[in-house]
Amino acid sequence: MFEICGPYTINGSVEVPGDKSISHRSIILSSITKEKVQIDNFLFSQDCLNTLKILKKIGVKYIINKDSILIEGHGVSGFIEPDDILYAGNSGTSIRLLSGLLCGCNFMSIISGDESVNNRPMDRIIRPLTAMGARIYGRDGNKKAPLVIFGGNKLKGIKHEINVSSAQVKSCLSIAALFAEGPTEIIQPEISRDHTERMLEYFGSEIIFDGKYTKIIPGKDLKGKDIFVPGDFSSAAFFIIAGLILKNSKIIIKNVGINPTRSYLLNILKEMDANIEIKNERTKNNEKIADITASSSNLKSINIKEGVIPNIIDEIPILSVAAAFAEGITIIRGAKELRLKESDRIKTIFNEFKKAGIKVHEYPDGLEIYGNPNTKIKSANLKSYGDHRIAMSLAVMALKGNCKVRINNTKCINTSFPEFESKLFNLVSR
């Protein structure tokens, strides 16, 4: 639980944990290679640890050393049948990406998650994997987890059009495509994150991709190379927004991943007149990295179009906080996917913002936020709904207030950013 009584300023520099999406992918894809791969700045969060535990149960060996991990890859034939159910916890990334891997393995497996994960839509991976020849079955008429996977069938490449752009679905199919006969093509209506494609290319896979279109041609062994995981942009976003909305503030976030399919929030914030600088740009293992400076700003509202939603989906909760203190009405539409996250994020933002005294309207697919730089946050008991991004967003919002705000059930933050509390409160002052 957090108890916060502002107003605060935030100043200094900080490094955020390694990128969660890249951390997941780094250990999954490294395990398919035949080399030892050292992964530096790995994120040891609950979600990533769940992926690691599953890999261990199917025979992957690794050594942990502080903030790095050494994966001993053993090729596509080296996985072994688990003797227990594989548990993904609260991680949709774990269950979806690993399902693609397990469909290519020569054994039977069952993969499950917590209540939230087991109620997220899994038919979006079951249908195309079945079309590839996999035998994969789910609860509720093949729509939800737990998933039962009978490996051993020969997979074939397919051409699949995804109705709703999803990096998790695309990555699941891309991993399964490595085990298939013939090329696999994946087409999306909008650009989504391309971390999997970039890492496959880095490891020597024959792959073509441009954000909306991905083609994987199997047959080449992945060649493991060492990886540095850049700072997680979604984690950096909490500090960026804090720097923008708090008075007399300037904060530098170092070594942040600015993959263009991931950091579109920066474009939106600049349209809102945010004082943001990008410095020290460079590329490591196919990913762009930079230092980001955010300073106190007079933000203005914005109308966010549906086409960019897949590139800011995880940042919408903290963007909503920025919108609450911007001048004017911010409209976010086409974001119904938010209702299928760790919580129904449209509903949770609506409920908790209202408690705090922020005027907001809920749509089936988004929000309308009535911003005001002089909004007075009410004293309130707020709920995280067990959602790490909601908990951290509410904490940043509370920094702007001038009365006590209590945020309950903040342990969920450990799923992505275990050091959030200490890093944030080491930088703020009254």
pLDDT at 251 over 90: yes
CA distance 418 to 31: 25
pLDDT of residue 307: 86
Q: Is residue 380 part of a domain?
A: yes
Q: Is residue 180 part of a domain?
A: yes
Q: Is residue 224 part of a domain?
A: no
pLDDT band at 277 (very low <50, low <70, confident <90, very high): very high
Residues 276 and 294 sit within 8 Å (Cβ to Cβ): yes
- Per-residue pLDDT of 116-152, as tens digits, reads 999 999 999 999 999 999 999 999 999 999 999 999 8
pLDDT of residue 305: 86
pLDDT band at 20 (very low <50, low <70, confident <90, very high): very high
Please give the share of the chain, as a percent, with pLDDT higher than 70.
100
Residues 119 and 265 in one domain: no
pLDDT of residue 276: 98
pLDDT of residue 238: 98
Residues 213 and 295 in one domain: no
- Per-residue pLDDT of 149-164, as tens digits, reads 999 899 999 999 999 8
CA distance 311 to 260: 9
pLDDT of residue 311: 87
Catalytic one of 47, 194, 232, 314: 314
Residues 199 and 341 in one domain: no
Q: Is residue 225 part of a domain?
A: no
Residues 36 and 175 in one domain: yes
Residues 84 and 158 in one domain: yes
Residues 200 and 296 in one domain: no
Q: Is residue 375 part of a domain?
A: yes
pLDDT at 430 over 90: no
- Per-residue pLDDT of 179-219, as tens digits, reads 999 999 999 999 899 999 999 999 999 999 998 999 999 99
Where is the domain boundary, 199, 219, 239?
219
Residues 271 and 139 in one domain: no
Where is the domain boundary, 163, 189, 219?
219
Please compute the mean of the pLDDT values over residues 167-176 and round it to a whole number: 97
Residues 356 and 413 in one domain: yes
Residues 147 and 235 in one domain: no
Please compute the mean of the pLDDT values over residues 33-53 and round it to a whole number: 96
Residues 36 and 173 in one domain: yes
CA distance 327 to 146: 46
Give the CA diameter of the chain: 62
Number of domains, the chain: 2
The whole domain housing 7 covers 2-17+230-429
pLDDT band at 74 (very low <50, low <70, confident <90, very high): confident
Q: Is residue 87 part of a domain?
A: yes
Residues 199 and 276 in one domain: no
pLDDT at 328 over 90: yes
Instruction: Encode the chain in three state secondary structure.
Output: CEEEECCCEEEEEEECCECHHHHHHHHHHHHHCCCEEEEECCCCCHHHHHHHHHHHHCCCEEEEECCEEEEECCCCCCCCCCCCCEECCCCHHHHHHHHHHHCCCCCEEEEECCCCHHHCCCHHHHHHHHHCCCEEEEHHHHCEEEEEEECCCCCECCEEECCCCCHHHHHHHHHHHCCCECCEEEECCCCCCCHHHHHHHHCCCEEEECCCEEEEECCCCCCCCCEECCECHHHHHHHHHHHHHCCCCEEEEEEEECCCCCCHHHHHHHHCCCEEEEEEEEEECCEEEEEEEEECCCCECCEECHHHHHHHHHHHHHHHHHHHCCEEEEEECCCHHHHHCCCCHHHHHHHHHHHCCCCEEEECCEEEEEECCCCCCCCEEEECCCCHHHHHHHHHHHHCCCCEEEEECCHHHHHCCCCHHHHHHCCEEC
pLDDT band at 76 (very low <50, low <70, confident <90, very high): confident
Residue type, 142: N
Please compute the mean of the pLDDT values over residues 299-310 and round it to a whole number: 92
* pTM of the full structure: 0.91
pLDDT of residue 66: 82
Find the CATH number of the domain harbouring 419: 3.65.10.10
Q: Is 114 annotated as catalytic?
A: no
Q: Is residue 371 part of a domain?
A: yes
Q: Of 74 and 322, which is predicted with more confidence?
A: 322
pLDDT of residue 75: 85
Q: Is residue 69 part of a domain?
A: yes
Residues 55 and 199 in one domain: yes
CA distance 117 to 98: 14
pLDDT at 376 over 90: no
Where is the domain boundary, 165, 188, 219?
219
